[in-house]
């Protein structure tokens, strides 16, 4: 199909001249809504409803003028084909623009919308999309969110003028494939999902103590030895250690990596490889113990989590090894301006014990082990920059100074990010308490085994990458933020999906949307409309909490009206009031009702949402207490005016 279209494009372009950008019609806005039937995540900068509908049908034509718009048009056809089984004809014939989708490519240096901005004008007779190739790709991601799930002869799209551009230049999601290997097909699925919500970076954490997952031709033992873990600790049974006896293995061949990187590029996602050093290096040292500081030391691919003293020894041999590795890595990721070199959580005991390192300290006048770490990172940075790339490191790289050209990922809270921004570094905010998506999404006791404190969907939505303390000038150094998915307790692709979605959609809106157009209740409405698209792609997202379910302190005499709305289309809410976990035999929530809450006798409601295909949410708990005070729970979300949901719920 693709090949056919490309040939078609070449044919139509031969002998035709590029036409002028169409004259812009000045549509008279009827309403200025930023929310309603036009439901797009992340929220565009401006939506003006202009009245009427465009009807997309099999006869609709795509009109393009240049190869870049052709590629963008093709990505629309791919989506149409995947969802509805048909594609639209593509030509450069504008003679009759009725029932057309017209793409206009604007060079990055000629647009006022920015390199990633776009304009999407939907009128009853035609749709006009303009922007850079990337901008047009984002316009399509917005447009297709306005399509219904199923095709019944025509796709009706509400007329509107959308102009849009991102708030942040760096919009990232990360995935740790070292702790648990994820197959290449899943990496592509993940990347495709990220692109759908206008992310532009995928940070691929490829190496760690528990696995080395990237083929390096010059050092085959890295994957022969380093990609194999004998077994994995069961839960958190570190001491005494209980292993599951199940080997974990897997790595990406260079061919698979090239394929994934090219796929990502077609979705306008840059893949940043991370090779973690000088710590988090047990798997590499199990393969090549000569690059550690210890002799006769039991280096091994680790089977538990946490920190390990294994560390690369800063010898010339080690640097040659790391430069060889990074050299191959940089060739595999030609489009990434960055290489992530880790730099986090380095334990320095082996350096302290090493006569070689003591001598190095004396020779280089390094006062502490931290200073060795900085010296190490600077050497690696010099090598990386000699190949025309920049380094990113976790915020520990700042400790004893690093060159200003290094980009810092601030993970230990906001403070390191503030410090780095003030020191003139580019900063990517990844504070663990806000955007580590391995943390539970609700009450940890009711969620899959995980690490860290709870980070709800609303917490993610309310996260602002720019700390208030920063001056506007320093704030400019915050280039964006990133959600991180560490996989110690996340074993399978579907578990990654559960932890990442829908939080990644909330973060997409943080990263892309202007603050003035953000609104959490509206986001939940949009999510309700969007989740069926994730179902269609078989994404095992965590089913969100019913709206209206939150802890309450009630005043004397105040009625406790339980008014819930289901968070997913065709879902059902089951609940209990006796402290047991609900199941499909529990009471079905149908209409709002008054809950009896006696003074000093708290009521605990446990609810579960079940989708039409039987998928179950975790258990959600709300507590109602009558003590004479009435305050609304911390996570209060006002019940939404959603007539179709109320109807489905039997009201």
Say if CB 419 and CB 412 are below 8 A apart: no
Say if CB 630 and CB 554 are below 8 A apart: yes
- Residue written as tokens 């047991």? 580
Asked about 345 being catalytic, the answer comes back as yes
Taking alpha carbons only, the member of 211, 403, 508 closest to residue 392 is 403
Taking alpha carbons only, the member of 57, 55, 101, 79 closest to residue 1 is 79
- Output the smallest distance, CB 483 to ligand ACM, in A: 12
- Output the smallest distance, CB 394 to ligand ACM, in A: 4
Q: Of 78, 115, 231, 345, which one interacts with ligand ACM (CB under 6 A)?
A: 345
**Residue 156 to residue 148: CA distance in whole angstroms:** 8
- Output the smallest distance, CB 344 to ligand ACM, in A: 4
Cβ distance to ligand ACM smaller for residue 138 or 411: 411
Cβ distance to ligand ACM smaller for residue 305 or 394: 394
Asked about 644 being catalytic, the answer comes back as no
Of 205, 280, 425, 540, catalytic = 280
Asked about 396 being catalytic, the answer comes back as no
Cβ distance to ligand ACM smaller for residue 288 or 394: 394
Of 192, 345, 522, 563, catalytic = 345
- Output the smallest distance, CB 95 to ligand ACM, in A: 57
The reply on whether position 411 binds ligand ACM by CB under 6 A is: yes
- Output the smallest distance, CB 207 to ligand ACM, in A: 13
Taking alpha carbons only, the member of 415, 404, 405, 341 closest to residue 373 is 341
- Output the smallest distance, CB 464 to ligand ACM, in A: 21
Cβ distance to ligand ACM smaller for residue 439 or 518: 439
**Residue 38 to residue 143: CA distance in whole angstroms:** 10
Copy the structure tokens of residue 271: 């893949």
Please, what is the angle between helix 316-332 and helix 369-386, to 10°? Answer: 40
The reply on whether position 414 binds ligand ACM by CB under 6 A is: no
- Residue written as tokens 């980070």? 455
Query: Among residue numbers 579 through 618, which ones bind ligand ACM (CB under 6 A)?
Result: none
Q: Is the bond into 195 cis (omega within 30 degrees of 0)? A: no
- Edge-to-edge strands, sheet with 61-63: 46-56, 155-164, 118-122, 126-131, 100-105, 61-63, 89-91
Total residues contacting ligand ACM by CB under 6 A comes to 4
Cβ distance to ligand ACM smaller for residue 279 or 546: 279
The residue with its CB nearest to ligand ACM is: 344
Task: Return the percent helix, strand and coil in the chain, to nearest 5.
Answer: 30, 20, 45
The reply on whether position 399 binds ligand ACM by CB under 6 A is: no
Of 208, 209, 369, 495, catalytic = 208
Q: Of 67, 344, 433, 464, which one interacts with ligand ACM (CB under 6 A)?
A: 344
The reply on whether position 394 binds ligand ACM by CB under 6 A is: yes
Cβ distance to ligand ACM smaller for residue 288 or 411: 411
3-state SS, 231-256, equals CCECCCCCCCCCECCCCECCCECHHH
Catalytic residue set: 208, 280, 345
The contact set with ligand ACM (CB under 6 A) reads 344-345, 394, 411
């Amino acid at each position: 199909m693709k090949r056919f279209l490309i040939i078609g494009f070449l044919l139509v372009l031969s002998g035709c001249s590029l036409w002028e950008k169409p004259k812009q019609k000045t549509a008279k806005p009827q309403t200025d809504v930023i929310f309603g039937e036009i439901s797009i995540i992340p929220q565009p900068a401006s939506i003006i409803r202009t009245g009427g509908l465009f009807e997309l049908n099999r006869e609709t034509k795509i009109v393009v003028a240049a190869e870049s718009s052709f590629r963008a048009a093709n990505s629309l056809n791919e989506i149409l084909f995947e969802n509805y089984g048909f594609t639209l004809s593509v030509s450069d014939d504008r003679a009759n623009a009725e029932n057309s989708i017209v793409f206009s490519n604007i060079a990055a240096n000629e647009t006022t919308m920015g390199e990633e901005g776009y304009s999407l004008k939907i009128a009853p007779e035609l749709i006009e999309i303009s922007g850079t190739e990337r901008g047009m790709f984002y316009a399509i991601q917005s447009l297709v969110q306005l399509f219904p799930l199923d095709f019944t002869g025509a796709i009706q799209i509400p007329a509107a003028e959308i102009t849009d551009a991102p708030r942040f230049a760096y919009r990232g999601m990360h995935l740790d494939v070292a702790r648990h290997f994820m197959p290449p097909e899943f990496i592509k699925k993940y990347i495709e999902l990220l692109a759908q919500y206008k992310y532009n970076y995928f940070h691929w954490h490829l190496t760690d103590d528990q696995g080395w997952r990237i083929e390096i031709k010059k050092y085959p033992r890295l994957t022969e030895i380093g990609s194999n873990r004998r077994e994995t600790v069961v839960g958190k049974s570190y001491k005494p250690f209980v292993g599951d006896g199940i080997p974990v293995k897997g790595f990406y061949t260079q061919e698979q990596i090239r394929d994934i990187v090219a796929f990502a590029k077609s979705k306008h996602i840059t893949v940043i490889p991370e090779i973690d050093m000088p710590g988090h290096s047990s798997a590499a040292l199990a393969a090549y113990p000569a690059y550690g500081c210890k002799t006769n030391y039991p280096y091994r691919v680790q089977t538990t989590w946490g920190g390990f003293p294994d560390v690369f020894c800063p010898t010339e041999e080690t640097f040659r090894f790391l430069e060889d590795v990074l050299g191959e890595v940089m060739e595999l990721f030609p489009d990434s301006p960055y290489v992530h070199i880790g730099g986090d959580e380095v334990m320095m005991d082996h350096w302290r014990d090493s006569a070689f390192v003591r001598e190095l300290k004396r020779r280089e006048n390094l006062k502490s082990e931290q200073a060795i770490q900085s010296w190490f990172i600077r050497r690696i940075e010099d090598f990386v920059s000699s190949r025309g790339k920049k380094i990113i490191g976790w915020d520990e790289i700042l400790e004893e100074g690093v060159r200003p050209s290094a980009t810092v990922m601030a993970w230990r809270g906001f403070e390191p990010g503030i410090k780095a921004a003030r020191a003139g570094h580019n900063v990517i905010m990844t504070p663990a308490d806000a955007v580590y998506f391995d943390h539970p999404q609700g009450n940890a006791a009711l969620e899959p085994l995980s690490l860290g404190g709870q980070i709800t969907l609303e917490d993610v939505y309310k996260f602002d990458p720019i700390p208030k303390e920063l001056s506007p000038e320093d704030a400019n150094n915050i280039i964006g933020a990133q959600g991180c998915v560490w996989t110690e307790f996340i074993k399978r692709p579907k578990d990654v999906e559960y932890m990442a979605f829908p939080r990644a959609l909330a973060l997409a809106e943080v990263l892309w949307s202007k603050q003035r157009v953000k609104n959490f209740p509206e986001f939940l409405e949009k999510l309700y409309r969007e989740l069926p698209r994730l179902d269609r792609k078989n994404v095992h997202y965590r089913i969100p909490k019913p709206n209206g379910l939150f802890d309450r302190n009630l005043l004397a005499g105040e009625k406790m009206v339980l008014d819930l709305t289901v968070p997913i289309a065709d879902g059902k809410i089951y609940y209990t009031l006796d402290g047991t976990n609900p199941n499909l035999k529990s009471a079905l929530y149908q209409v709002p009702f008054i809950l009896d809450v006696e003074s000093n006798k708290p009521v605990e409601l446990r609810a579960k949402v079940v989708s039409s295909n039987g998928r179950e949410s975790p258990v959600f708990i709300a507590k109602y207490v009558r003590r004479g005070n009435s305050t609304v729970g911390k996570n209060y979300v006002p019940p939404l005016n959603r007539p179709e949901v109320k109807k489905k719920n039997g009201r």
